[in-house]
Amino acid sequence: MPDALTGALAALAEGMQRLGEGTRLPRGEVLARLPTRVGTTGCPLDLDPAAVVRLGLAATLLDTELDPRTGEPGGLLRFYHHQLQEFFAARALLEAGRRGLDLRDRWAAPRFKSEMPDPGRLRDDEPLPPPPTTGWEESTLLAVGLARDPAALIAAVRGCNPVLAARCLMDPGVPALPEEIERTRAALLAELSNPAVHLRARIAAGEALGRLGDPRFAVPAGEGVRVLLPPLVEVPAGAVRLGSSWWEVRRLSRAGFPAGDERPRRRVRLAAFAIGRFPVSVWCCPWRILYSELLDAAPACFLFFLARSRAREPVLLTGDAMAIKDSDQPGVHIGGSVTVHGDFVGRDQFKTIHQSQEGASVADLVRLLAEVRALLPQAGLDPDSARAIEGDFRIVEEQAAKAEPKSGLIKSRLNSAMDLIQGAGKTSEALEKIAVLVGRVAAMAAGIF
């Protein structure tokens, strides 16, 4: 494509990009926005805007539409596809950077509390929306892929938009830039800990850091298996009082909380242990997000520690007083039998669920499914959810019995069952046990099929 036509369309795209996605302009306004003189690799060249439009239409870079205001056919002009507009806007970005212009207005999305707009009224179950965008994100990604020095461009973006810089580094068209990755990780970590940054921007920074690679989470390998270890906090040895007073047991019982094992109240001496710094919902079972990479290994192994806080919020821990110091192989061995280590009971109990995949078979999976199905009547689920979960389990059993089972169908049905359990809106011991067992079934299925 001639440099002159590229430069003219880049100038047009830059102006249209500022107006928003899917921009359509009257032909007269397009002619007014097109430059009459552009710089080329040789020397400045005079242009006829009408000729640029004819060439753009002939090359299917531009397109026409009926102008609804005047009824004139071809009265509106636009780029043939919005990605073409973003491509030429990216070329305009590169040219502006080459000339040393300040591009921060293209990248500086609202980040701080003082500038973040109100998202409006949200439902209790509705998450905060991400921060507003500038409209230049896709063009910036394209510009980084086209740039002769992508590291310099990413560094400029990072100064006012670390999240966008992380997106640039993760783009498939960008070469590996280890130094820029480390600098961007540091910028995202600073964003997370800055109290002046709005929560919406901190959430976006955390998600970007998770995709780019959070340096706070080590991923050591042992016996051919990668294990994701969250940050740990060392807890010194000491005595702890377990159980509840008689009046608290009475109050909990009236509220429907099973508190019969809260008495007698007693003191227990705990050895030093380490615990995960960040609580994680038990619904994020190993076969889900946090430990998903382990399922690529066979046999998968990791330690799965389950506890319940006083607020009855299930959390995923990394150890207990009896197992954390003696464990030389972090991991639950998925499948097979279950051994629970622990001497105390009640809401404060720490359990180490230690499972073994060795010898796990289709028969083991079917037996475990039967155990889950036997618990369903005790879970307090509504009839429709219970029938749907039962149907999911039936499909899993049918596929498992086939000579060539469809692993994707098995996984989707187990995911569907877990989503129904998670969305039940109820809390009971039977339901929590079902959730853990379904996680075991899914992990076992991942190792078998």
User: What's residue 2's pLDDT?
Assistant: 65
Tokens of 3: 């440099």
pLDDT score for 154: 95
Phi and psi at residue 210, in whole multiples of 5°?
Answer: -65, -40
CA gap 290, 279 in Å, rounded: 12
SS3 of the chain: helix, strand, coil, percent, to 5: 45, 15, 40
> In terms of DSSP H, where are the helices of 217-292?
246-254
Residues in the chain: 449
Please report the pLDDT score of residue 356 as a whole number: 36
Residue 122 Cα distances to 72, 132, 205, 382, 424, angstroms: 44, 16, 21, 27, 22
Which pTM was predicted?
A: 0.54
Which amino acid is present at 232?
L
Paired with 239 in beta bridges are 269
8 Å CB contact between 329 and 299: no
Q: Residue 244: CB partners within 8 Å, gap ≥ 6?
A: 252, 259, 262, 263, 265, 346
Can you tell me the distance from the alpha carbon of 127 to that of 129, in angstroms, rounded to the nearest whole number? 6
Residue 426, classed as helix, strand or coil, is: coil
* Residue whose pair of structure tokens reads 């830039």 in the numeric block: 177
Q: Write out the chain's pLDDT in tens, 449 residues.
A: 467 888 888 888 888 888 865 678 888 888 888 888 776 555 777 888 899 889 889 988 999 988 888 888 888 998 988 888 999 999 999 988 888 888 988 999 999 999 999 988 888 778 888 999 888 999 999 999 999 999 999 999 999 999 999 999 999 888 889 999 999 999 999 999 898 999 999 999 999 998 898 887 766 665 566 666 677 788 888 888 888 877 777 787 777 777 777 778 888 888 888 887 766 544 333 333 333 343 333 222 333 333 222 222 333 333 322 222 223 333 322 222 333 333 323 333 333 333 333 446 788 888 888 888 888 888 888 888 888 888 888 898 888 888 888 888 888 888 888 878 777 665 667 777 787 788 788 878 877 77
pLDDT of residue 315: 30
CB 323 within 8 A of CB 303: yes
Amino acid (one-letter) located at 340: V
101: buried, middle or exposed (CB in 10 Å: 19+, 13-18, 0-12)? Answer: exposed
The values of phi and psi at residue 212, to 5°, are -75, -25
**Beta-carbon neighbour count of residue 220 at 10 Å?**
10
pLDDT at site 429: 72
Tell me if 282 sits within 8 A of 250, measured CB to CB: no
How far is 389 from 384, CA to CA, in rounded Å?
9
Handedness of CA 396, 402, 405, 406 (dihedral sign): negative
